[in-house]
Structure 1
Amino acid sequence: MTAVDERGMTKYFQELEPPEGVKVELLRGVIVMMASPDIVHNMIVADVQDQIPRQRWSRLQTQDVDILDEASEPVPDLVVLRRELVPASGRLLACQLVTMVVEVVSKSSVHQDYVTKRSIYAAGKIPLYLVLDPIMAQCVLLTKPTGQGEEADYLTQEIVKFGDRLPLEALGVDLDTSAFGTFTGVRPHRYP
């Protein structure tokens, strides 16, 4: 068996053909597969997307993001960037073009969304990382990315409960969270 470093996994990942309905991401050299999301998850993504003005912003779902200097190609639940910056084609979107990424927490993605992806998106200098958590009924807005690699993080964190409004000043949006659904019967976690 031949050892494959993190960069070697990128090539393997690009050739991978997952079964339909399976989301696949490369996170720091680790291939992560997840089943299709819950309806609550999809409705939250749709509600956020509907509130971001299409005239100024492109709102992309299932878009692979290329994180500079990382063996990571995450697939956020929603990627937001200025309309004029959208490339004409391609599978990977350069992290430098992205204004905001959104992840909706599921039972199986808690650690990834709050820890692993927080560091990856901060390493990519993505200005806004919004974690929407239907387990804890909260939004966590992370801003001011700093650092590199696994030590990267966001300097500011704002937590808003579902039902309250969340100002997204960089987008010129006051996000209404009152229609966001929650998961029932799921054990609470300790994050952020």
Structure 2
Amino acid sequence: MMEEKHQTESTYAKLTRTGMTARELFDALPPIPDLRVEVIEGKMLVSPMGSPEHGWMATRLHNALLPLLTQRGWEAAMGLNLCVEGPRDSPAPDYVVAPSDCPRWGKWELLASGVVMVAEVVSPSSVYTDRVEKRRTYALGRVPIYVLIDPIADEPSVTVFSEIKDDAYEVAITEQIGAPIMLPAPIDFELDTSIFKM
């Protein structure tokens, strides 16, 4: 066990000494159980998996969209990594909708430009990342719709970002949790946000 620990530390020391980028370090890491590893705006973020309530909100979104997903032949999952072409950031949305033939970067990542929608559920540890950095990252990655479920805001809300221009979302519509909100094309679905009340 001691030898294995020493070997891991030596590998980490070697990686950091070589001046690897966050993306290169991300690519060199083995899977880490129960932790989410992402590259956002060139920084590697390692965080624990969310609380049960966090996961339940993503599941409730999935359940609401399930008839639409079935009708259109789309796939959906929680916690998949995407690859943003260009900077090769690798965000892991709480929820992602994509066609079954979505292009990939390697074996494990979907290309962000090929997905239909992503969603994040804000938690105390992800406030700035979800509200600011991921909004920029998903727009740069050409993700058509970004849904931000924010149960910890002063007034719990859902914001839908869409219509990308100059690598930024031009349209942001916010509704308090409990009110309906429209998910625009290519989703075209009115979401009843009362499903996020806990």
- Answer whether TM exceeds 0.5 for this pair: yes
* Counterpart for residue 123 of structure 1: 140
Q: CA deviation at 1:86?
A: 6.6
The 5-angstrom pairing of residues 106-117 of structure 1 reads 106-117=123-134
User: What amino acid is aligned across from residue 96 of structure 1 in structure 2?
Assistant: S
The answer as to 2:194 corresponding to 1:181 is no
- SS of alignment partner, residue 120 of structure 1: helix
* Counterpart for residue 190 of structure 1: none
Of structures 1 and 2, the larger Rg is shown by: 2
The 1:15/1:2 distance shift into structure 2, 3 A limit, reads: closer
- SS of alignment partner, residue 10 of structure 1: helix
User: What amino acid is aligned across from residue 152 of structure 2 in structure 1?
Assistant: I
* Counterpart for residue 144 of structure 1: 163
* Deviates most, 38-47 or 89-98: 89-98
User: What amino acid is aligned across from residue 49 of structure 2 in structure 1?
Assistant: S
| Greater helix fraction, Structure 1 or Structure 2 | 2
Provide, for residues 61-91 of structure 1, a one-character-per-residue CA deviation record: whole Å limited to 9, x for no partner.
111101010141000001112345476x820
Unaligned runs of 5+ in 1: 183-192
Which of 89, 94, 105 matches 2:122?
105
**Among the aligned pairs, what percent are the same residue?**
26
The 1:30/1:102 distance shift into structure 2, 3 A limit, reads: same
Q: CA deviation at 1:16?
A: 1.4
- SS of alignment partner, residue 37 of structure 1: coil
Asked whether the equivalents of residues 100 and 127 of structure 1 are also in contact (C-alpha less than 8 Å), the reply is yes
Output the CA distance in 1 between the equivalents of 2:32 and 2:101.
33
User: What amino acid is aligned across from residue 156 of structure 1 in structure 2?
Assistant: V
CA RMSD of aligned residues (A): 1.9
User: What amino acid is aligned across from residue 24 of structure 2 in structure 1?
Assistant: K
* Counterpart for residue 154 of structure 1: 169
TM-score by length of 1: 0.83
The 5-angstrom pairing of residues 56-135 of structure 1 reads 56=72, 57-85=74-102, 90-135=107-152
* Deviates most, 137-146 or 165-174: 165-174
Output the CA distance in 1 between the equivalents of 2:103 and 2:59.
20
Unaligned runs of 5+ in 2: 1-15
* Counterpart for residue 185 of structure 1: none
Output the CA distance in 1 between the equivalents of 2:101 and 2:18.
42
Output the CA distance in 1 between the equivalents of 2:86 and 2:192.
35
Provide, for residues 108-155 of structure 1, a one-character-per-residue CA deviation record: whole Å limited to 9, x for no partner.
1010011111111111111111100010210011111222xxxx3211
* Counterpart for residue 178 of structure 2: 163
* Counterpart for residue 41 of structure 1: 54
The answer as to 2:63 corresponding to 1:50 is yes
Q: CA deviation at 1:179?
A: 2.3
Higher relative contact order (CA 8 A, sep 6+): 1
Output the CA distance in 2 between the equivalents of 1:13 and 1:157.
31
